[in-house]
């Protein structure tokens, strides 16, 4: 399956991760995602960027995500982070 990149109407990336997340959540809402799923996306994505504010820089994203995922957490928490963060970063 081919990967797709979602860009703003201006043809470039939003200036902040908050703007990018807002657009992503609108897109997921339009796909029919539940309010609970949208809330979980918001929570896990915000946690990543609050811990690593520089992660919105494409050159730092991979390292910051790996550091965030390497933190010691319970398996269920790890799996939730994995799903929500990886889906967000691949869009």
Alpha carbons 60 and 54: distance in angstroms, whole number: 7
**Position 13 confidence tier, pLDDT thresholds 50, 70, 90:** confident
Q: Please state the domain extents for the chain.
A: 32-89
Alpha carbons 69 and 81: distance in angstroms, whole number: 7
Helix (H, G, I), strand (E, B) or coil at 40: helix
Task: Decide if pLDDT at 8 tops 70.
Answer: no
Q: What percent of the chain has pLDDT over 70?
A: 82
Q: What is the DSSP letter of 52?
A: -
| pLDDT on residue 12 | 76
CB 55 within 8 A of CB 61: yes
| pLDDT on residue 90 | 62
∠ Cα 3 75 5 (to 5°): 15
């Amino acid at each position: 399956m081919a990967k797709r990149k979602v860009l703003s109407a201006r043809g470039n990336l939003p200036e902040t991760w908050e703007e990018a997340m807002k657009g992503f959540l609108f897109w997921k809402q339009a796909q029919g995602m539940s309010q609970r799923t949208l809330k979980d996306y918001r929570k896990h994505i915000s946690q990543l960027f609050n811990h690593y504010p520089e992660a919105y820089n494409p050159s730092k994203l991979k390292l910051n995500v790996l550091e965030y995922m390497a933190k010691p957490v319970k398996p269920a928490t790890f799996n939730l982070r994995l799903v929500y963060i990886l889906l967000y970063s691949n869009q």
